[in-house]
């Protein structure tokens, strides 16, 4: 049973933390939505059959649409927690690519206006997604597990984000183009080279470099992991889309760098996966202490 004296953690579904980690840290989820072939489904309903979703994605000739939760979706999660007398720290996918953060703020304002304790909600923009958001959420969870206040938990999330490095390789930019999330990587569309782009996520998708082969993309991700470790990162995650073997190769290559296993290895779900496409592979790393040089 939840401890009413402990601030509650709320997140949207795009961190893709495994269910066991969500349970262990008592993290409550609000789902984004995915539209494919005329049907809109809550992402949380698709997470148990990712193979089926990605099979439909490959076969579909239409672009997948994604949308944020409604204010009502947030209220359904917030209200019972507030009724228990709890404070809430609510952490979400980058506001630069999704309206989820703004909708959380709208729900908070409605609860304040209705006298239901909305002022006890602290909304945090992770300024990332997938593995990056997972690390921000884990930083907050560590603080919560140590008995921190809601303000201290939100500050811990901000520290994890300040220290965050996130890189991912995609097989093609086509899914990002179709989904309209191409960002400045759009300059690479139409290149005559068959490239395996490496991207990062800093409020929006940003290109880092182009490589020609899968093996080279993994090699470069390992290099970025070493840079993150050299900068002080000591918590890391690996995420993939429909390529667990590549995920394991990346884990094996990076384990000596960090000296321990990643906190999680997980498959990215439909909202992020629809934009990156099958074959995407990512690594994120951070530290939960003060930013270097602070």
Q: 70 near 32, Cβ under 8 Å?
A: no
Q: What is the pLDDT of residues 24-44, one digit of tens each?
A: 999 999 999 999 888 899 999
Looking at the fold, whether 129 and 191 belong to one and the same domain comes out as no
Find the range with the poorest average confidence among 73-87, 167-181, 248-262, 279-293: 167-181
pLDDT value of residue 76: 98
- 59 and 185 fall within a common domain: no
- Whether residue 1 lies inside any domain: the answer is no
Residue 294 lies in a domain: no
95 falls within a domain: yes
| Measured distance CA(215)–CA(230) in Å, rounded | 23
Q: Could you tell me if 181 and 157 lie in one domain? A: no
What's the rounded Cα separation, in Å, for the pair 28 and 124? 15
User: What pTM was estimated for this model as a whole?
Assistant: 0.91
- Answer whether residue 241 is part of any domain: yes
Structural domain includes residue 224 = yes
- Whether residue 89 is found in the same domain as residue 184: no
51 lies in the same domain as 177:
no
Average pLDDT over residues 245-261: 97
16 and 157, same domain (yes or no): yes
Residues 186 and 269 reside in one and the same domain: yes
236: left (phi over 0), alpha (psi -120 to 50) or beta: beta
Q: How many domains does the chain have?
A: 2
Q: How confident is the model at residue 275 (pLDDT cuts 50, 70, 90)?
A: confident
Question: Cβ distance 136 to 161 under 8 Å?
Answer: yes
Same domain as 19, residue 155? yes
Which pLDDT score, from 0 to 100, does residue 293 have?
A: 40
- What is the pLDDT, as a whole number, of residue 195? 73
120 is a domain residue:
yes
Residues pairing with 90 in the sheet: 10, 123
Quote the pLDDT of residue 178: 66
289 neighbors 155 (Cβ within 8 angstroms) = no
Assess if residue 259 is contained within a domain: yes
Higher-confidence residue: 27 or 196? 27
Question: Among residues 135, 162, 189, which one ends one of the domains?
Answer: 162
CATH number, domain of 15, equals: 3.40.50.10170
Mean pLDDT along residues 104-120: 98
Whether 39 and 141 share a structural domain: yes
b/e burial code for range 152-191 (CB count within 10 A of at least 16 → b): bbbbbbbbbbbbbbbbbbbbbbebbbebebbbebeebeee
Q: Considering the domain boundaries, does residue 271 fall inside one?
A: yes
Give the gyration radius of the chain's Cα atoms.
19
- What mean pLDDT is predicted for residues 279-294? 79
**Domain boundary residue among 118, 137, 162?**
162
Last residue within a domain, chosen from 162, 180, 209: 162
Alpha carbon 217 to chain centroid distance? Answer: 21
pLDDT given at position 193:
53
Mean pLDDT of the residues in the chain: 90
**Segment 94-106, tens digit of pLDDT:** 998 899 999 999 9
pLDDT value of residue 192: 44
pLDDT the model gives residue 2: 60
Which structural domain, as residue segments, surrounds residue 97? Answer: 8-162
Output the domain CATH number for residue 277: 3.30.1180.10
Same domain, 266 and 278: yes
**Same domain as 225, residue 116:** no
Sign of CA dihedral 159, 166, 50, 246: negative
Q: Give pLDDT tens digits for 46-90.
A: 999 999 999 998 888 777 889 999 999 999 999 999 999 999 999
Residues 123, 172, single domain; the answer is no
- Using pLDDT thresholds of 50, 70 and 90, give the confidence band for residue 294: very low
In tens, the pLDDT along 10-23 reads: 999 999 999 999 99
Q: Is the pLDDT of residue 179 over 80?
A: no
Q: Does the pLDDT of residue 182 top 70, yes or no?
A: no
Condensed to tens digits (0 to 9), the pLDDT of residues 150-161 reads: 999 999 999 999
């Amino acid at each position: 049973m939840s401890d009413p004296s402990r601030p509650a953690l709320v997140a949207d579904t795009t961190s893709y933390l495994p269910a066991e980690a969500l349970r262990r840290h008592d993290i409550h989820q609000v789902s984004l939505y995915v539209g494919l072939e005329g049907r809109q489904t809550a992402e949380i309903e698709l997470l148990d059959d990712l193979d089926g979703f990605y099979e439909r994605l490959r076969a579909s000739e239409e672009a997948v649409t994604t949308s944020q939760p409604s204010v009502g979706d947030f209220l359904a999660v917030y209200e019972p927690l507030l009724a228990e007398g709890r404070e809430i720290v609510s952490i979400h996918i980058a506001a630069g690519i999704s309206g989820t953060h703004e909708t959380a703020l709208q729900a908070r304002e409605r609860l304040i206006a209705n006298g239901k304790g909305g002022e006890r909600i602290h909304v945090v923009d992770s300024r990332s997604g997938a593995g990056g958001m997972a690390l921000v959420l884990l930083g907050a969870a560590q603080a919560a597990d140590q008995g921190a206040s809601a303000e201290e938990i939100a500050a811990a999330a901000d520290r994890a984000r300040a220290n965050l490095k996130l890189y991912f390789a995609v097989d093609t930019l086509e899914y990002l183009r179709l989904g309209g999330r191409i960002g400045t990587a759009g300059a690479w569309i139409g290149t005559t080279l068959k490239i395996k782009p490496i991207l990062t996520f800093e409020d929006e998708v940003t290109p880092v470099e182009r490589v020609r082969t899968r093996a080279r993309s993994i090699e470069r991700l390992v290099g970025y992991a070493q840079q993150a470790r050299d900068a002080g990162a000591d918590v890391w995650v690996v995420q993939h889309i429909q390529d667990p073997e590549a995920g394991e190769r990346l884990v094996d290559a990076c384990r000596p760098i960090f000296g321990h296993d990643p906190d999680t290895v997980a498959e990215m779900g439909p909202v992020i996966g629809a934009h990156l496409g099958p074959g995407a592979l990512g690594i994120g790393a951070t530290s939960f202490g003060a930013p270097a040089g602070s």
